């Protein structure tokens, strides 16, 4: 038992005494292998979210029975101990909260504990490092300069050039990451620091092109504090909302600085897995050269918004103008004085409509279903400000701490914390919403009025963070056609079931993206895609997120039903935070550690 726990509690610090007593009893039960006693320390309604430490998985146990089942299965291998308070506990509204640290047989971790009436309400346990494989950070950083003399010694540049020339040819990567956007780059940086031989393959010419090649007006709608990459934060003078080309340049620079083995102009042709050898065979076209790679682990980091969802609408093939998916939209410049129709009403649709209007096009948005709108300023003030803002930084909540606080709220009850936020926003922005509805815009606030974050986590679509386009709709500068189904695309425009028609020189299908396992079907096989099942969503049984309840994001950052196949992605926040846990899982396997997975996700939805 740690020294921190053995310090006597004082009357003046009831919160510390409460947490100390709970941790001591919890550690005693775990040390004795008494899963029943440990489970009894959780409230009837309680949640233990584990990021790799106990389960070698990303898993939430709900209630004492699920806690008991997990502990009975894993305790002998995990051997947890050295639980300690990390920072002064606090108490408010009947909830005692404390940061904690602990160890297992092979790892160190930290977490966040919340107690109600002396029992655990929520517990987050997260792996931070593997013993013996600590990252070379702070006082463990490399020397860099090699003092003294050695005949024939290679310089840093020569070593990097040799590594780049040999990896994938004379030596094989342990991990192959398919997709060199923000997710692949963040994971590659983590694996580099852990010494895992890794290649990132990307079809574009340069790192960051996945941003540069999008429509002209694209920018981050999340604030800078939410979007830092691992190890290297944005400068203090970085804009709150960065334009796409600036992000592209940052990703390219980051890739170089973090010394990533990044193969641009590389396309995957096929991949197959040999279960006997536990090895993938991946054939790639590297700038015209066919290369066969044989990694042990394959990570699809193609983005949760990576595979365009192109609709099938009667008559599309006969349209005589220009039409394309929003992911292929080059920008508004060619459409001054012409008629444009944008089908869709989420982030991309709004951005593209606003840019077309500013370029002098006559633009109409076609809204086919309700959309959740939240003004950027209101989201910053009421939704993100407590964790991701200059105000949060000033109060001692840096990005790492903010990530952990957010991760500590189990998905089962997260909506309960979100509903009051969006109720407040609806109150503050009541006139704004009334004006949008008067313009004919069909609004929603999520299936249970829980707003943007739950929509994102459940389905990854159905919302717009307003940075100006909504006012253009209110003012009639962006025209709106809503609530009427499309009948067909004609030679000259879009015809609706009510008999009306919108003439168009340009049609943009801002119709979103498909599940990430569509990439698995294309690259590997439909059989593997079906074995993995649907990627993304919680199983909330809300629109586009079918049940049953999963409790975590389906198949993301954790083992799947296809051995040695992983999915990584999400927004910049998720790419940063969850890349650590995926990297630790991969490093453990590369190091030959036993990684018995508890609660491997069942498949309820095929990859079709």
**Residue 525 CB: number of other CB atoms within 10 A?**
17
**Euclidean distance between the first and the last CA atom of the chain, given in angstroms as a whole number:** 51
Q: Give the residue carrying structure tokens 């939704």.
A: 383
- Does this chain's domain 9-130 share its CATH topology with 316-509? no
Position 5 confidence tier, pLDDT thresholds 50, 70, 90: very low
DSSP 167: B
The structural architecture, per CATH, of the domain 9-130 is: Roll (3.10)
Q: Pairing state of beta strands 493-496 and 486-489? A: antiparallel
Q: What is the pLDDT of residues 404-459, one digit of tens each?
A: 999 999 999 999 999 999 999 999 999 999 999 999 999 999 999 999 999 999 99
Separation between Cα atoms, residue 295 and residue 298, nearest integer Å: 7
In order of 336, 348, 479, 490, 493, the CA distances from 322 in angstroms are 14, 18, 20, 12, 10
| Crossing angle of the two packed helices 572-590 and 182-193, in degrees rounded to 10 | 40
Q: What is the pLDDT of residues 121-168, one digit of tens each?
A: 999 999 999 999 999 988 898 888 777 777 878 888 999 999 999 999
- CATH 3.50.50.60 given to domain 316-509: yes
- Buried-exposed string 143-156: b where 16+ CB fall within 10 A, e elsewhere: eeeeeeeeeeeeee
Residue 174 predicted with pLDDT over 80:
yes
% of the chain with per-residue pLDDT over 90: 86
% of the chain with per-residue pLDDT over 70: 97
List Cβ neighbours of 528 (8 Å cut-off, separation of 6 or more): 273, 520, 521, 562, 565, 607
In order of 263, 419, 549, 598, the CA distances from 449 in angstroms are 44, 6, 19, 34
The 3-state secondary structure of 534-583, one letter per residue:
CCCCCCCCECCECCCCCCCCCCECCCCCCCCEEECCCCHHHHHHHHHHHH
Largest CA distance in the chain: 84
Domain extents for the chain?
A: 9-130, 161-307+514-591, 316-509
Residue 215 predicted with pLDDT over 80:
no
Q: Give the residue carrying structure tokens 């999340």.
A: 222
Superfamily name with CATH number, domain 161-307+514-591: FAD/NAD(P)-binding domain (3.50.50.60)
Residue 566 predicted with pLDDT over 80:
yes
> Cβ distance 50 to 73 under 8 Å?
no
Of the candidates 349, 394, 344, 388, the one whose C-alpha atom is nearest the C-alpha of residue 370 is 344
pLDDT average, residue stretch 228-244: 94
At residue 607, the pLDDT reads 58
> Cβ distance 371 to 464 under 8 Å?
yes
> Cβ distance 493 to 454 under 8 Å?
no
Token pair, residue 551, equals: 């409790």
Token pair, residue 15, equals: 């919160």
Separation between Cα atoms, residue 342 and residue 349, nearest integer Å: 6
DSSP 467: S
At residue 1, the pLDDT reads 39
**Residue 172 CB: number of other CB atoms within 10 A?**
18
Token pair, residue 213, equals: 């090649």
- Residue 575 vs residue 219, higher pLDDT: 575
Position 608 confidence tier, pLDDT thresholds 50, 70, 90: low
> Cβ distance 36 to 68 under 8 Å?
yes
Instruction: Specify the pTM.
Output: 0.94
Position 306 confidence tier, pLDDT thresholds 50, 70, 90: low
Q: What is the pLDDT of residues 19-65, one digit of tens each?
A: 999 999 999 999 999 999 999 999 999 999 999 999 999 999 999 99
List Cβ neighbours of 106 (8 Å cut-off, separation of 6 or more): 130, 131, 588, 593
CA dihedral defined by 187, 193, 194, 197, rounded to 10 degrees? 70
Position 525 confidence tier, pLDDT thresholds 50, 70, 90: very high
Separation between Cα atoms, residue 201 and residue 184, nearest integer Å: 9
């Amino acid at each position: 038992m740690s020294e921190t726990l053995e310090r006597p509690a004082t009357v003046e610090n009831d919160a510390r005494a409460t947490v100390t007593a709970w941790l001591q009893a919890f550690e005693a039960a775990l040390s004795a292998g008494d899963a029943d006693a440990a489970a009894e320390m959780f409230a009837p309604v309680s949640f233990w979210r584990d990021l790799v430490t106990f389960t070698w998985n990303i898993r939430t146990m709900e209630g004492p029975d699920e806690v008991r089942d997990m502990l009975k299965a894993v305790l002998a291998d995990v051997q947890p101990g050295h639980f300690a308070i990390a920072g002064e506990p606090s108490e408010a509204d009947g909830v005692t909260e404390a940061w904690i640290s602990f160890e297992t047989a092979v790892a160190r971790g930290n977490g966040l504990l919340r107690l109600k009436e002396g029992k655990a309400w929520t517990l987050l346990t997260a792996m931070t490092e593997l013993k013996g494989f600590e990252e070379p950070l702070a006082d463990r950083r490399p020397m860099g300069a090699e003092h003294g003399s050695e005949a024939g010694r290679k310089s840093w540049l020569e070593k990097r050039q040799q590594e780049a020339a040999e990896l994938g040819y004379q030596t094989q990567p342990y991990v192959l990451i398919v997709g060199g956007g923000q997710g692949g780059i963040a994971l590659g940086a983590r694996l580099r620091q852990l010494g895992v031989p890794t290649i990132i393959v990307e079809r574009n010419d340069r790192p960051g092109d996945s941003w540069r090649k999008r429509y002209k007006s694209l920018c981050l709608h999340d604030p800078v504090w939410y979007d830092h990459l691992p190890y290297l934060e944005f400068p203090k003078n970085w804009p709150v909302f960065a334009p796409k080309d600036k992000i592209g340049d940052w990703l390219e620079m980051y890739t170089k600085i973090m010394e990533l083995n990044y193969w641009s102009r590389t396309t995957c042709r096929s991949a197959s897995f040999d279960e006997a050898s536990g090895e993938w065979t991946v054939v790639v076209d590297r700038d015209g050269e066919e290369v066969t790679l044989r990694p042990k682990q394959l990570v699809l980091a193609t983005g949760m918004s990576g595979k365009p969802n192109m609709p099938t609408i009667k008559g599309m093939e006969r349209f005589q103008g220009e039409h394309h998916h929003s992911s292929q939209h080059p920008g508004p410049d060619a459409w001054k004085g012409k008629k444009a129709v944008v089908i869709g009403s989420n982030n991309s649709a709004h951005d593209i409509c606003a840019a077309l209007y500013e370029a002098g096009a006559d633009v109409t948005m076609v809204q086919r279903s309700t959309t959740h709108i939240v003004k950027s300023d209101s989201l910053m003030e009421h939704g993100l400000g407590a964790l991701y803002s200059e105000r949060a930084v000033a109060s001692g909540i840096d990005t790492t701490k903010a990530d952990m606080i957010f991760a500590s709220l189990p998905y089962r009850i997260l909506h309960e914390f979100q509903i009051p936020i969006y109720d407040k926003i609806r109150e503050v922005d009541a006139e704004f919403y009334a004006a949008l509805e008067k313009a004919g815009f069909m609004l929603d606030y999520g299936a249970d009025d829980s707003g943007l974050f739950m929509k994102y986590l459940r389905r990854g679509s159905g919302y717009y963070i307003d940075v100006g386009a909504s006012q253009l709709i209110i003012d009639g500068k962006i025209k709106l056609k809503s609530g009427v189904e499309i009948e067909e695309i004609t030679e000259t425009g879009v015809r609706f079931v009510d008999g009306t028609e919108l003439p168009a020189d340009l049609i943009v299908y801002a119709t979103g993206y498909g599940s990430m396992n569509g990439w698995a079907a294309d690259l590997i096989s439909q059989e593997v895609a079906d074995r993995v099942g649907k990627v993304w969503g919680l199983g909330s049984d809300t629109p586009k997120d079918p049940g049953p309840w999963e409790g975590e994001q389906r198949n993301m950052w954790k083992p799947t039903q296809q051995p040695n196949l992983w999915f990584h992605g999400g927004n910049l926040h998720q790419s940063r935070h969850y890349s650590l846990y995926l990297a630790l899982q991969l490093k453990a396997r590369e190091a030959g550690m036993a990684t018995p997975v508890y609660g491997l996700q069942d498949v309820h939805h095929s990859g079709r």
